[in-house]
Structure 1
Amino acid sequence: MGSSRVRSFLAGLLVANSAPHLASAVAGRQHLTPLAGRTSGPAVNAAWAALNLAAGAALLRWRRPTGSRWDRDLVSFEAGYLLFACWMAGTERLFPTNWDREGD
């Protein structure tokens, strides 16, 4: 696997990680982050989402000529995104870390 595909895969992971944090920020909910733990509020989630999205974008732009087509890098990006999304859905189902325990 070429280095651009590895970067694309990692970018997919980071962009996928930004999505639930961005959703938490917009919805005004708490969501676990490494910045403030289990009680990370909307502002912390917005910051964590922005960091992940910026890092993913940087990986995609690093040494990539503009205007060129995606080729196999797009599949690598999508695989990274899909893997992370599936992992998060599975772990949240089995180990409900971000659930309101009193509301169950």
Structure 2
Amino acid sequence: MPWTRYLPPFLAGVLLANSVPHLGTAVASRTHLTPLAGAESPPVVNLVWGAANAVGGLALLSAGTRPGGGRWDRRLIAFEAGAAAFSLWMVASEALLHVNTPPRR
């Protein structure tokens, strides 16, 4: 299987992992960085951004799947790797750059 078949599920994992903190931020009525409105993006903007990421991720997952589904192949690993890579990136960037949280004193 060519490596390009792993790109859509990897990107789907990234997008779906990114949707979770934005949707959680919207539900919690907090602010969180989005490219739509900057560092102080209000809950409604986070809801829109989180939903857009979720829809995009789900669309990428459904692209190229055969009707009736079936078992996952190695693309499941690519999907999980995308989600894990994004999650690790966010943990590291937040710990070092404090984009959404104040630095610890």
Would the TM-score normalized by the shorter structure come out above 0.5? yes
From 71, 76, 79, the counterpart of 1:77: 79
Q: Tell me the residue number matched to 1:19.
A: 20
Q: Percent identity?
A: 48
| Map of 2:46 onto structure 1 | 45
The aligned amino acid for 1:45 is N
Paired AA for residue 89 in structure 2: W
| TM-superposed deviation, 1:77 | 0.3
In structure 2, distance between residues paired with 1:36 and 1:65: 38
How high is the TM-score relative to the length of structure 2? 0.91
Q: Which runs of 5+ in 1 are unaligned?
A: none
CA RMSD, Structure 1 to Structure 2 (Å) = 1.6
Which range moves more in the overlay, 39-48 or 91-100?
91-100
> Segments of 4+ in structure 1 off by > 3 A?
none
| Residue from 93, 96, 99 that aligns with 2:98 | 96
> Number of residues paired by the alignment?
103
How far 1:2 sits from its partner (Å)?
3.3
1:62 aligns to 2:31 (yes or no): no
Unmatched runs of 5 consecutive residues or more in structure 2 = none
What TM-score, normalized to structure 1? 0.91
**CA offset digits 1:8-65 (Å, max 9, x no partner):** 0000000011011011011111000001011101100000000000000010111211
Which residue is equivalent to 1:28? 29
Q: Distance in 1 between matches of 2:47 and 2:5?
A: 28
